[in-house]
């Protein structure tokens, strides 16, 4: 299957090589895609650069109309897109349907935001002078997207870039190129002109990243993925003075205060922690529960987790799908084994799943760890898997300090019945996104991003459009 898109055409790799795409639930091959390299990335940038002048000169209304058409097409194709996502990425079909809707929301939001691209008249100290500012597209944008949300992470980047008048080259995750192809089909069928959007698929991302960060025609790099890779790309992009936005890892605290309803908090934690098999950057990784609420919280959490069904996302009743690959299973198993060795209890889960054909895929049992301590790896490192570590605390005054004790700063969660406590935690927590009695604090209309090692910049909201715009100032003499 041709899944590389350049200058309005589906093409193969310059080398002629391909690589397989696997279903993580079964291990079956579901397709092959071009295995691109540096030459393919350069050719895609050629196309994007050539298309920039004409695309950036279109009116915001014209770009908005195309984006609205893309939103309608994505909505019409929602079921087919969800089926493809579950087959390729593994998440339960219900979750895939939700993601398709979430991804479409970004297209609609930025179609509307495109019409609100404004500048300002600014005052001067001179009576015969005026200042005017306008916001214009930065230029060609290089994009690298992850496998865990293989459609919404594309639209969250592509929609604001297109609304701003940018052209782009996107490299999707090696595990989910077919989902990327389907999204590109939505945009091209909606009328995006040739050369404006370009797709490069590759098994090895390194040569693509080298081109993205060294080609002087690339004005901006945007990446979602691991902190290690994000640091590397940002450092290389810095040498070219490219604008950079990176959304990286997380190690989210989930704080249950003594005045909160522990049963409600446990239900929220279970729903969020095992979403996408724990493979989400905003997934809670440290569940801080006050000792007075620990017993009912752990009991409820354990029962909830014990009732989760892991399996092929196409099957009815499945709530937890597979991990992305063998390496992900090994990482989760290593963290659980380390915690056990250091004294943690495992009231539910704690092992790889192999029964009923699950040995063909990459499944790990939904797991709860209790008696978790700071010397355990799971306390310090992002798991990216279906493991909920519970930490019991005693001092309310110290829990914020415990929560902030990480180099990550993406998301945090607070459960409390006190507005004073909630606002105090919101202001004190060093994280970009705070859920207060809420496990879904995201929307196309609000900024998404983190502090510290969790990234630079924001996606979503008004801020997401600003990432793709330059401000230009005119000083006008009235003499």
Q: In this structure, are 256 and 163 located in the same domain?
A: no
Share of the chain above pLDDT 70, in %: 100
Among 247, 382, 459, 467, the one annotated catalytic? 247
Query: Is 448 a member of any domain?
Result: no
- Domain-embedded: residue 136: yes
Residue pointed to by tokens 């509307």? 112
Q: What is the mean pLDDT of residues 383-407?
A: 97
User: What stretches of 225-314 adopt beta strand conformation (E)?
Assistant: 243-247, 252-256, 284-290
Q: What is the pLDDT of residues 37-78, one digit of tens each?
A: 999 999 999 999 999 999 999 999 999 999 999 999 999 999
Judge if 374 and 354 occupy the same domain: yes
Domain check: are 75 and 181 in the same one? yes
Q: What is the CATH number of the domain that holds 318?
A: 3.40.309.10
Which tokens is 326 given? 């063998």
Please tell me whether residues 67 and 100 are part of one structural domain.
yes
Residue 1: pLDDT over 80: no
**Strand, helix or coil at 267?**
helix
The neighbour count for residue 241, using CB atoms within 10 Å, is: 9
Mean pLDDT of the chain: 97
For the whole prediction, is pTM greater than 0.75? yes
Residue carrying structure tokens 């639930």: 25
* Whether residue 327 is found in the same domain as residue 468: no
pLDDT recorded at residue 347? 97
- Tell me what the mean pLDDT of segment 295-317 comes to: 97
* Domain co-membership, 47 together with 179: yes
Domain containing 172 equals: 4-249+453-477
Q: How many CB atoms lie within 10 A of CB 360?
A: 15
| Percentage above 90 pLDDT, the chain | 99
Say whether both 264 and 222 belong to one domain.
Answer: no
Q: In sequence order, what E strands does 4-58 have?
A: 4-6, 9-11, 18-22, 29-34
Mean pLDDT of 173-200: 98
Residue 122 counted as domain residue: yes
Mean pLDDT score, 212-238: 96
User: How many CA atoms lie less than 13 Å away from 54 in the CB half-sphere?
Assistant: 10
The pLDDT-based confidence of 416 (bands split at 50, 70, 90) is very high
Same domain, 259 and 147: no
Counted domains in the chain: 2
* 182 pLDDT above the threshold of 90: yes
Same domain, yes or no: 206 and 232: yes
- Mark whether 355 and 471 lie in a shared domain: no
Q: What is the pLDDT of residue 92?
A: 97
The verdict on 117 and 9 lying in the same domain is: yes
107-121 pLDDT, tens digit per residue, is 999 999 999 999 999
Contact 450, 407 (CB under 8 A): no
- What confidence tens digit (pLDDT) does each residue in 317-369 have? 999 999 999 999 999 999 999 999 999 999 999 999 999 999 999 999 999 99
Judge whether 185 counts as a catalytic residue: no
Give the model's pLDDT for residue 160. Answer: 98
Question: Which of the four pLDDT bands, split at 50, 70 and 90, describes residue 479?
Answer: confident
Four-residue CA torsion sign, 59, 140, 465, 474: negative
Q: Which two tokens stand for residue 244?
A: 């950079």
Catalytically annotated residue among 113, 166, 281, 382: 281
Asked if 166 is an active-site residue, the reply is: no
Joined tokens for residue 308: 């989760």
Band the pLDDT of 14: cuts 50, 70, 90.
Answer: very high
Q: Look at residue 438 in the predicted model and tell me its pLDDT.
A: 97
Give Cα 156 to chain centroid, integer Å.
Answer: 9
Q: What is the DSSP letter of 352?
A: B
CATH number at residue 52: 3.40.605.10
Same-domain pairing of 322 and 282: yes
pLDDT score recorded for residue 2: 80
DSSP type of residue 3: -
């Amino acid at each position: 299957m041709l899944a590389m898109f350049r200058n309005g055409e589906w093409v193969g790799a310059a080398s002629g090589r391909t690589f397989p795409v696997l279903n993580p639930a079964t291990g079956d091959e579901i397709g092959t895609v071009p295995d691109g390299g540096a030459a393919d990335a350069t050719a895609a940038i050629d196309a994007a650069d050539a298309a920039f002048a004409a695309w950036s000169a279109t009116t915001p209304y014209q770009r908005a109309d195309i984006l609205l058409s893309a939103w309608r097409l994505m909505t019409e194709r929602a079921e087919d897109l969800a089926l493809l996502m579950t087959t390729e990425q593994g998440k339960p079909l219900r979750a895939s349907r939700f993601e398709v809707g979430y991804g479409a929301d970004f297209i609609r939001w930025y179609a509307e935001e495109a019409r609100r691209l404004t500048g300002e008249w600014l005052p001067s100290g001179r009576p015969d002078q005026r200042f005017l500012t306008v916001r214009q597209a930065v230029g060609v944008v290089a994009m690298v997207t992850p496998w865990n949300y293989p459609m919404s992470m594309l639209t969250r980047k592509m929609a604001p870039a297109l609304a701003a008048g940018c052209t782009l080259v996107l490299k999707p995750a090696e595990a989910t190129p077919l989902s990327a192809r389907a999204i590109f089909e939505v945009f091209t069928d909606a009328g995006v002109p040739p050369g404006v959007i370009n797709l490069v698929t590759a098994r090895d991302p390194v040569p693509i990243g080298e081109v993205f960060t060294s080609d002087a025609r690339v004005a901006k790099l945007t990446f979602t993925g691991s902190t290690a890779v994000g640091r590397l790309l940002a450092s290389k992009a810095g040498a070219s003075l490219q604008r950079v936005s990176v959304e990286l890892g997380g190690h989210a605290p989930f704080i249950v205060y003594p005045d909160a309803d522990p049963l409600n908090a446990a239900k929220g934690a279970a729903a969020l922690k095992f979403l996408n098999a724990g493979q989400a950057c905003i997934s809670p990784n440290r569940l801080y529960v006050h000792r007075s609420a620990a017993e009912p919280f752990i009991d409820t959490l354990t029962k909830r987790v014990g009732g989760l069904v892991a399996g092929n996302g196409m099957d009815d009743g499945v709530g937890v799908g597979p991990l992305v690959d063998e390496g992900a299973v090994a990482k989760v198993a290593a963290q659980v084994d380390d915690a056990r060795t250091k004294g943690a209890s495992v009231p539910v889960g704690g092992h790889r799943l192999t029964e009923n054909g699950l040995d063909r895929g990459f499944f790990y049992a939904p797991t709860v760890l209790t008696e978790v301590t700071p010397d355990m790896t799971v306390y310090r490192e992002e798991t990216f898997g279906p493991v909920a570590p519970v930490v019991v605390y005693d001092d309310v005054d110290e829990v914020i300090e415990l929560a902030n004790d990480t180099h990550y700063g993406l998301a945090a969660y607070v459960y409390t019945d006190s507005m004073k406590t909630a606002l105090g935690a919101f202001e004190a927590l060093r994280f970009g996104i705070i859920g207060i009695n809420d496990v879904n604090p995201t929307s196309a209309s609000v900024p998404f991003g983190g502090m510290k090692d969790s990234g630079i910049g924001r996606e979503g909201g008004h801020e997401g459009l600003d990432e793709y715009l330059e401000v230009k100032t005119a000083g006008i003499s009235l003499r």
